[in-house]
Amino acid sequence: MPRAGSVAILFGALIAAALTPALPALPQPSTIPFAPVNVKLPPAPAAAGFAAFRQHLAAIAKDRVFDELARAVVPQGFFWDRDFTDAFDPKKTSAENLAAAIHLEQGTGLGWQMLADFAAEPTAAEIPTAPGVLCAPGRPLFEQDEFDRLLDTTRSAAADWVFPRADGLELRAAPRPTGALVEKLGSYFLRLARSGEAADTANALRTAWTRVSAPTGKLGFAAPGTLASLSAPQLCYVKDVVGRWRIAGFIGAGN
C-alpha cells in the first residue's frame, strides 16, 4: 500500500502537468525557410570530338555490345574511385573493371541504362586532380562558405541537398505533371524531404518524382531527371595519344 507522502507527491505532479501549457510543435526541418545558395552548372564541353564520342557511347549503350564498349575504354590506366564494397581488380581489363563499377549486367541491364544516362548528360568538367580528364556530370559552381553555413544552420549534411538541372524547374503539389504548381524554382540548392533516403541511391533522382523543400519552405515534387546531387556518380573521359576520346575512369557515388 503506497504511503500518504508518495500519493501527495504523485498527485502534485499530475496537477502541475495539467496546469503546464503545451509547447507548440516545432515545424519539420523541410518546411523551415532557409537562405538560398546559388549554383551554376558548368557549360557543355566544347572540346573537339567530345560530343561525337558521347553520341557513339549512346549507340553502344543502346545496342549493349560489350566488345564495342571495350574499344571505347582506355586499354590501360583506367581509374575507379569508389564508395562501395566492390574492389578494383588489376588482373582484369579496363572494360571489365568499368562493367563491375557500373554493374553493367545487373538485373535487366541497369548498368547499360546508367551508361546511356552518362552519354546523354549535357555537362562535364575537368577534375582538379587530373588535368585533361573530363568527368560528367560536371560539378556545379557555388560558394562553399555559404553552403557550409547552410548545413550548419539547418543541421543537415551535404547528402540532404540537391539542385535543379536547369533554371525554372516547376515544383508540383503532387508527383505528376498535372499536379498544382507550387513554385517555379531558380538555380539554388533544395532540401530533400524524403525520409530515410540518400540523395541519389539507385539513380532515384533520374527515375522517380522527388519531394523537396524550396528556400521559401514550400514543399513539392520535382519530376524525374530534373534534379542532381553533389554525390552523384561520374563517368570520366580523356583523349588518347592519337586524339580519340575514351572512357578513362569512374567516380562512385559519394566520392
Cα angle for residues 241, 246, 251 (degrees, 5° grid): 120
Assess whether 131 and 185 both reside in one domain.
no
How does 23-34 read in b/e, with b if 16+ C-beta sit within 10 Å?
A: eeeeeeebeeeb
Assess whether 36 and 85 both reside in one domain.
no
Assess whether 216 and 194 both reside in one domain.
yes
Give the pLDDT score at 22.
46
pLDDT in tens, 194-217: 654 444 444 678 889 999 999 999
Assess whether 116 and 235 both reside in one domain.
yes
Task: Tell me if 211 is assigned to some domain.
Answer: yes
Give the pLDDT score at 20.
41
Residues with pLDDT less than 70, the chain: 1-30, 82-86, 107, 194-203, 254-255
Task: Tell me if 13 is assigned to some domain.
Answer: no
Q: Report the C-alpha gap between 188 and 151 in whole angstroms.
A: 14
Give the pLDDT score at 26.
39
Assess whether 171 and 136 both reside in one domain.
no
Q: pTM of the predicted model, to two decimals?
A: 0.78
Assess whether 134 and 87 both reside in one domain.
yes
Task: Tell me if 4 is assigned to some domain.
Answer: no
Residue range of the domain that includes 109 = 50-140+231-251
Give the pLDDT score at 47.
85
Task: Tell me if 148 is assigned to some domain.
Answer: no
Assess whether 116 and 133 both reside in one domain.
yes
How many other C-beta atoms can be found within 10 angstroms of the C-beta atom of residue 150?
Answer: 22
Give the pLDDT score at 168.
92
Assess whether 136 and 54 both reside in one domain.
yes
pLDDT in tens, 216-236: 999 999 999 899 999 889 999
Assess whether 121 and 239 both reside in one domain.
yes
Specify the long-range contacts of residues 11-17, CB closer than 8 Å, at least 24 apart.
none
Neighbouring C-alpha atoms within 13 Å toward the C-beta of 166 = 10
Reading the block at residue 43, the C-alpha cell is 557549360
Assess whether 134 and 239 both reside in one domain.
yes
Could you tell me how many helices (H) and strands (E) the chain has, helices first? 7, 12
Per cent of the chain over pLDDT 90 is 58
Give the pLDDT score at 30.
58
The total number of structural domains in the chain stands at 2
In this structure, what CATH number is given to the domain that contains residue 73? 3.10.450
